[in-house]
Amino acid sequence: MSKKTIMLVCSAGMSTSLLVTKMEKVAAERGIDSEIFAVSASDADNNIESKSVDVLLLGPQVRFMKAQFEKKLDGKGIPLEVINMQDYGMMNGEKVLDQALRLIDEAK
């Protein structure tokens, strides 16, 4: 299984960084080789270019950027979704990781 790179985007990258910690923990428990990181909306573009991102998840408060990102990712085959509200509110690392893995799977 190849390494999964998961990028989370929110306004300042603050709230999602907590989520990253939780997701990393679950990934480690399950033995999934992954790189999970959170960035602010303005840093997202650089990271799409520099890292080979497998999936992009948006915090619900920046869901308005979805269309923008869809355009940017167009043709790159990188799936994109807004994080489920309940999971986000609870910072549920497991569920969000599942969401990310499902998206990677579907994109294949």
Catalytically active residues, by annotation: 10
> What is the contact mask toward other proteins in residues 9 to 48, using x (rule: CB under 8 A)?
-xxx-xx--x---------------------x-x------
Q: Where are the beta strands (DSSP E) in the chain?
A: 4-10, 34-40, 55-58, 80-82
Please give the helix or strand (H or E) that residue 90 lies within, else none: none
> What is the contact mask toward other proteins in residues 48 to 87, using x (rule: CB under 8 A)?
-----------xxxxxxx----------------x-xxx-
Please identify which residue in the block is written with the tokens 């799977």. 105
User: Considering the rule CB under 8 A, would residue 100 count as an interface residue with other proteins?
Assistant: no
Contact 83, 18 (CB under 8 A): no
Query: 8 pairs with which residues across the strands?
Result: 38, 57
Binding residues for other proteins (CB under 8 A): 10-12, 14-15, 18, 40, 42, 59-65, 82, 84-86, 88-91
